[in-house]
């Protein structure tokens, strides 16, 4: 009986082993992380100065000349400036490395041929992700520092020390700084002779007189705008003569200014606005009051104010 039981147990165990090893194993998908380094090297791109222009402000802060404007819209018809006036310089600069690079550019405006620094330029606005408008300004110094014809040029270096591909770009080539201004009056003396008390509106023997204002830089004429005003004094009698011919008894005419016989005064009165290449004509007339005979002397003064 025991032998039979042992045989049954052995058979059962054999069947169990067959069943266990006959069942196929379940498949599993392997999981793992593979980390690989990546590298990219970006070279610096040097900037480019795309363009630029200048403006001039007078001592009152008025915009009197703009390189980008129509000449007819400018107060001044030529690009001249004087001591204590202001020059404003603009430059458009592009850098493919973008805004973070542009913020740290060293942009400057210069005068040639003396290579004098005008001003540092700073960003005014971005016109695209890679381009910005730069601006700087400076007061004009005396003629002992800056004088006559100069070019205005721009230099630029990016934050990595790369100079602009078109460095020293000239943006304006004929700025006229502190030009020489002179004036002549021909005939130099307004003279009457042979007058008698009671004479009315007698023309001066030296008519017609011409006022000429001349401006130049390095021997080249500058077309300068100026305001002309006129004043005079009484004609006073010489020693021993107690009378005067009042200034209001002297009149002047000017075809250039469209003036016909206007009385002179002690205070300056505007004649008009002219250019330095113009000849301004003046004729003078005197009405003689009841005065003693003798020589009478006075002055006619012309005030020239550059605009």
Paired tokens of 287: 């009405």
48-177 placed in CATH 2.60.40.10: yes
**Hey, where are the domains in the chain?**
48-177, 180-306
The pLDDT tens digits of the residues spanning 269-302 come to 999 999 998 999 999 999 999 999 999 999 999 9
Cis status of the peptide bond prior to 257, with omega within 30 of 0: no
pLDDT at 179 over 80: yes
Beta strands 269-275 and 202-203 are: unpaired
Q: How many residues does the chain have?
A: 307
Residue 13 has pLDDT above 60, yes or no: no
Average pLDDT over residues 237-258: 94
**Edge-to-edge strand list for the sheet holding 106-112:** 63-66, 48-57, 86-94, 131-139, 116-128, 106-112, 148-157, 169-177, 80-81
The per-residue pLDDT for 2 is 52
C-alpha triplet 287, 289, 295: angle, nearest 5°: 85
* Chain segment 182-238, per-residue pLDDT in tens: 999 999 999 999 999 999 999 999 999 999 999 999 888 999 999 999 999 999 998
Q: What pLDDT does 245 receive? A: 97
Predicted local confidence at residue 9, as pLDDT = 47
* Residue 160 in this model has a pLDDT that exceeds 60: yes
CATH of domain 180-306: 2.60.40
* Tens of pLDDT, residues 118-135: 999 999 999 999 999 999
- Which pLDDT tens digit goes with each residue over 79-93? 999 999 999 999 999
What's the predicted TM-score (pTM) here? Answer: 0.80
Give the pLDDT confidence of 131-152 residue by residue, as tens digits: 999 999 999 999 999 999 889 9
Higher-confidence residue of 28 and 139: namely 139
- Flag the least confident range among 4-13, 62-71, 239-248: 4-13
Instruction: Let me know if the fold of 48-177 is the same as that of 180-306.
Output: yes
Q: How far apart are CA 220 and CA 240, in angstroms?
A: 51
The answer for residues whose C-beta is within 8 angstroms of residue 304's C-beta and 6 or more apart is 181, 183, 213, 226, 227, 228
- Beta bridge pairs of residue 236: 244, 297
Q: What is the DSSP string of 173-218?
A: EEEEES-EEEEEEESSS----S--TT--SEEPTTPPEEEEEEEEET
């Amino acid at each position: 009986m025991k032998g039979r039981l042992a045989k049954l147990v052995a058979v059962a165990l054999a069947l169990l082993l067959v069943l266990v090893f006959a069942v196929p194993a379940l498949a599993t998908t392997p999981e793992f992380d593979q980390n690989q380094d990546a590298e990219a090297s970006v070279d610096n791109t040097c900037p480019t100065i795309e363009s630029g222009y200048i403006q001039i402000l007078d001592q009152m802060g008025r915009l009197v000349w703009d390189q980008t404007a129509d000449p007819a819209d400018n107060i001044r018809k030529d690009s001249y400036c004087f001591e204590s006036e202001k020059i404003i310089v603009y430059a458009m600069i592009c850098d493919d490395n973008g805004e973070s690079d542009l913020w740290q550019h060293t942009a400057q405006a210069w005068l040639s041929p003396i290579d004098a620094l005008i001003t540092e330029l700073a960003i005014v606005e971005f016109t695209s992700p890679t381009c910005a408008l730069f601006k700087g300004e400076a007061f004009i110094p005396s003629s002992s520092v800056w004088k006559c014809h100069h070019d205005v040029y721009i230099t630029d270096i990016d934050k990595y020390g790369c100079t602009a591909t078109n460095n020293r770009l000239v943006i304006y080539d004929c700025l006229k700084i502190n030009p020489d201004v002179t004036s002549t009056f021909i005939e130099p003396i307004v003279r009457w002779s042979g007058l008698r008390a009671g004479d009315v509106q007698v023309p001066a023997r030296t008519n017609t007189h011409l006022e000429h204002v001349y401006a130049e830089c390095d021997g080249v004429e500058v077309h300068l705008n100026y305001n002309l005003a006129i004043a005079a004094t009484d004609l006073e009698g010489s020693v021993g003569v107690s009378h005067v011919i009042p200034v209001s008894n002297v009149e002047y005419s000017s075809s250039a200014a469209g003036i016909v016989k206007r009385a002179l005064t002690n205070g300056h009165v505007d004649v008009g606005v002219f250019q330095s290449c113009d000849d301004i004509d003046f004729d003078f007339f005197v009405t003689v009051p009841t005065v003693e005979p003798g020589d009478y002397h006075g002055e006619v003064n012309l005030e020239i104010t550059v605009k």
